[in-house]
Amino acid sequence: MRWRITIYGRVQGVFYRKSTQQKARQLGLVGWVMNRPDGSVLAEIQGTEELLQEMVDWCWQGPPACDVIKIEKTEVPVEPSEAFEIRI
């Protein structure tokens, strides 16, 4: 499965992308994460449904300095991916 998630709140400038990459790699997920111009963070994560849900649960916590107020999640088509990267 592959989910696109958008994380809103104080999530830029607090190492959110790097922390997300580390957590995704720890869980064995693939995909990517990037900042959006509106101040949110967008990610696509791919793996089993159980691990995807664990990742979304982690996204609510994020790194210590963040303050997540909302997460939107949609299922998207699976794509070939070999790693979890930070996109600029």
Residues annotated catalytic, as ranges: 17, 35
Residue 87 has which token pair?
Answer: 């996109």
- Please tell me the distance from the alpha carbon of residue 78 to that of residue 66, in angstroms, as a whole number: 29
3-state secondary structure of 24: helix
Report helix, strand or coil for 35.
strand
Is 63 strand, coil or helix?
coil
Task: Tell me the C-alpha distance between 47 and 39, whole Å.
Answer: 26
